[in-house]
Amino acid sequence: MNAPNEHAHEGVNYDGIVGPALALGFAVFIFAISFGVLCVNAGGSVPKAMAMSLLVFTGASQFSAVSVIAAGGTAVSAVVGALLLGSRNAIYGVAVAPWLPGSLKYRVAAAQFTIDETTGMTLVQNSPARKKRAFWVTAASIYGFWNVGTLIGALVGNSFDTQKYGLDVAFPAAFVAMVAPLLATRKAQLAGIGGAVVCLATTPFLPIGAPIVMSAVVALIALVPTQRKTQSA
């Protein structure tokens, strides 16, 4: 009698992946609705809101850009701030790259979906096959929920009073929620405090959006690994 194929079940085993992926997708759904509303209220349109979510697809950067524009900042400040916030995704790319082998086109496609949630779900899995599977299942869930939420928010945006329903503080709340888990180390905490101090100190003197850029630069510099020279005995 032939022994059962031990790898047969591995190809269809999504236990512990689909449920958490859907939960993450639903969690970002609420933020996506807020983004759609804020984008339209900031002067954007439904197509513009959807273009950002479909092509940029990184919540912190999207919220940052819209909040700067809504406050009267320049497009340059909005873009630079968004790029700095999105730069962390490059680090995530290095972390997940070994588990997503393939052609250049495949890797470019994967880069679009390399965000906090997909990286986290990938790295906690215990085998290469599950890591790859978790990445794409989570990517599909987050991307779908995020864009549907953005569309709903953008369509109803003009009928919402953002201050009445508290959506004017959606970006700060969402940003704190996304940043808080990253402040687990002493170095990250000091970088965050340094960036906050710089932002508060420069706000009265710099154009809208520029303090965010300055604080992000300070935080990035603070997080650059330092090489300690060791002296030989």
pLDDT at 232: 44
pLDDT of residue 166: 64
Quick one: pLDDT at residue 53? 93
- Residue 228 phi, psi dihedral angles, 5° rounding: -95, 125
3-state helix, strand, coil in the chain (%, to 5): 75, 0, 25
Q: Within this chain, do residues 208 and 121 fall inside the same structural domain, yes or no?
A: no
Segment 43-92, tens digit of pLDDT: 889 999 999 999 989 887 888 788 788 777 777 778 877 777 777 788 78
Q: Quick one: pLDDT at residue 67?
A: 79
Question: What domain count does the chain have?
Answer: 2
pLDDT (0 to 100) of residue 142? 94
**Cα–Cα distance for residue pair 154/161, rounded to 1 Å:** 13
Do residues 28 and 126 both lie within one domain?
yes
Quote the crossing angle between the two packed helices 59-70 and 170-179, to the nearest 10°.
150
Is 99 inside any structural domain?
yes
**Whether residue 206 is found in the same domain as residue 102:** no
Task: Please answer whether residues 209 and 72 qualify as being in contact, where contact means their C-beta atoms are separated by less than 8 angstroms.
Answer: no
Is the CA virtual torsion 207, 87, 120, 115 positive or negative?
positive
Given this model, what pLDDT does residue 85 score? 72
Please tell me the predicted confidence (pLDDT) of residue 16: 82
Identify the pLDDT of residue 74. Answer: 75
Half-sphere exposure of 127 (CA within 13 A, CB side): 10
pTM: 0.70
Specify the pLDDT at position 173.
66
* Residue pair 26/145 in contact by the 8 Å Cβ criterion: yes
- How many CB atoms sit inside 10 A of residue 68's CB? 27
Q: Are residues 41 and 91 in the same domain?
A: yes
pLDDT of residue 8: 41
Name the residue range of residue 187's domain: 183-225
Q: Which stretches of the chain score pLDDT less than 70?
A: 1-12, 160-182, 207-209, 212, 220, 223-233
pLDDT on residue 208: 64
Q: Give the pLDDT of residue 15.
A: 75
pLDDT at residue 5, rounded to an integer: 43
Residues 42 and 77 in one domain: yes
Please check whether residue 21 lies inside any domain of the structure: yes
Q: Is 216 in contact with 84 (CB distance < 8 Å)?
A: yes
Alpha-carbon gap, residue 7 to 151, rounded angstroms: 41
- Spatial separation of the C-alpha atoms in residues 31 and 59, rounded to whole Å: 8
Co-location of 131 and 197 in the same domain: no
Residue 218: CB atoms within 10 Å: 17
